[in-house]
C-alpha cells in the first residue's frame, strides 16, 4: 500500500491538491515571517522562498512578490526590516493527479489583513 492509498484515501484528488497548496502556504508564512529583508536582498529572498517551497509535495509553481515600496521607505541605520505578511503577494500552484489548485496570500486592504485563500481550483 502506498502513502496515497494509506493516508489520503478519504479525500478527493481536488481536496488533495488544495491540501498540499494550503500546507505549503502555511509553511511559507510561518517559516519566513520575521526574516530580515532589504531592497538589496529582496530578490534573493524571493528566489529562496520560491525554491524551498517548490520542494513540498505536489507543488508545481510558486510566485513570490515582496512589496518593494515598503523596502524603499526604510529609514533606519541598519537598512533592513523584518518581513511581514503585509509585504507578501504569493501564489502557490499545487497539482495532484489531474487536479490543480491555486492558493493565494495577499494583503487585503479592506480587511487590514494578509489573507490566505483558495483563488482557483479545477
Superfamily of structural domain 3-121: 7,8-dihydroneopterin aldolase (MptD) (3.30.1300.20)
Is residue 18 predicted with pLDDT exceeding 70? yes
Its pTM stands at 0.90
Question: Quick one: pLDDT band at residue 1, thresholds 50, 70, 90?
Answer: low
Q: How far is CA 58 from CA 24, 50, 65, 95, 98, in A?
A: 10, 14, 21, 5, 11
Measured between alpha carbons, how far is 94 from 74 in angstroms, rounded to an integer?
A: 34
Q: What SS3 class is residue 20?
A: helix
pLDDT for position 76: 84
Q: What SS3 class is residue 107?
A: strand
Comparing 4-13, 24-33, 59-68, 105-114, which segment has the lowest mean pLDDT?
A: 4-13
Structural domain boundaries of the chain?
3-121
Amino acid at each position: 500500500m502506498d502513502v496515497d492509498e494509506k493516508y489520503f484515501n478519504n479525500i478527493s484528488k481536488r481536496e488533495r491538491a488544495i491540501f498540499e497548496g494550503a500546507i505549503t502556504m502555511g509553511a511559507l508564512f510561518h517559516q519566513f515571517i520575521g526574516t530580515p529583508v532589504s531592497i538589496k536582498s529582496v530578490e534573493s529572498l524571493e528566489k529562496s522562498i520560491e525554491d524551498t517551497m517548490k520542494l513540498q509535495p505536489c507543488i508545481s509553481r510558486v510566485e513570490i512578490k515582496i512589496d518593494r515600496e515598503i523596502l524603499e521607505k526604510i529609514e533606519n541605520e541598519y537598512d533592513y526590516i523584518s518581513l511581514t505578511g503585509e509585504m507578501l503577494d504569493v501564489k502557490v500552484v499545487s497539482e495532484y493527479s489531474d487536479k490543480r489548485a491555486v492558493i493565494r496570500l495577499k494583503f487585503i486592504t479592506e480587511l487590514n489583513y494578509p489573507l490566505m485563500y483558495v483563488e482557483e481550483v479545477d
